[in-house]
């Protein structure tokens, strides 16, 4: 008599667990639809290239520091967890990088995330003209392309990032 009762409790517990999992999964998508979270708008701010010439030249590099402005049009605050991005100069990919600096963006507010990347000697050689123009202060078209990962009340959301800036 004890064995069938134990089996019944196990089956009932399994059914309840599966039901709760299904309701939870449906609840997250319902929350996302109800909040209507849209992709924030982005801007490049304070682009600062720094040249590091070393001997031998193969040890030389250029560091790029810049801030990515994030304008959140949503009625809920977002946490930018990380961003994977490419930096293009005059439509030539200069570098690929990732930022793990988390930043909270208030609802209908603005925030900035600091991004930094390093271009090594071999990369510099392939885009020498663009780098020379950049160092000499000539106008260049910069573009940041990537994916931003946000922690939201509806779970992790990914949004594309494309920003154009002239220097």
Kindly indicate the confidence band of residue 52, based on its pLDDT and cuts at 50, 70 and 90: confident
Peptide bond into 105 cis (omega under 30): no
Convert the pLDDT of each residue in 53-111 to its tens digit.
Answer: 888 877 888 887 888 999 999 999 999 999 999 988 778 787 788 887 789 999 999 99
47 and 114 within one domain: yes
Phi, psi of 80 (to 5 degrees): -75, 105
If one counts the domains in the chain, the total is: 2
45 and 7 within one domain: no
Q: Which residues neighbour 114 within 8 Å (Cβ) at sequence distance 6 or greater?
A: 65, 66, 67, 99, 101
Convert the pLDDT of each residue in 12-40 to its tens digit.
Answer: 666 565 555 555 554 444 444 556 899 99
123 and 85 within one domain: yes
| Contact of 145 with 165, CB cutoff 8 Å | no
């Amino acid at each position: 008599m004890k064995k069938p009762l134990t089996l019944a409790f196990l089956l009932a517990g399994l059914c309840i667990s599966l039901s709760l999992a299904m309701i939870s999964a449906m609840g997250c998508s319902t929350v996302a639809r109800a909040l209507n979270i849209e992709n924030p708008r982005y801007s490049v701010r304070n682009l600062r290239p720094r040249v590091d010439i070393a001997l031998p030249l193969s040890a030389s590099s250029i560091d790029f520091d810049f801030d990515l402005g994030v304008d959140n049009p949503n009625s809920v605050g977002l946490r930018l967890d990380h961003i994977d991005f490419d930096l293009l100069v005059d439509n030539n990919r200069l570098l690929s990088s990732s930022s793990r600096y988390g930043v909270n963006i208030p609802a209908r507010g603005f925030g900035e995330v600091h991004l930094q990347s390093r271009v090594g000697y071999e990369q510099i050689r392939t885009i020498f003209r663009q780098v020379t123009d950049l160092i000499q202060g000539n106008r260049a078209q910069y573009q940041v392309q990537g994916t931003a990962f946000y922690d939201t009340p509806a779970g992790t959301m990914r949004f594309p990032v494309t920003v154009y800036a002239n220097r």
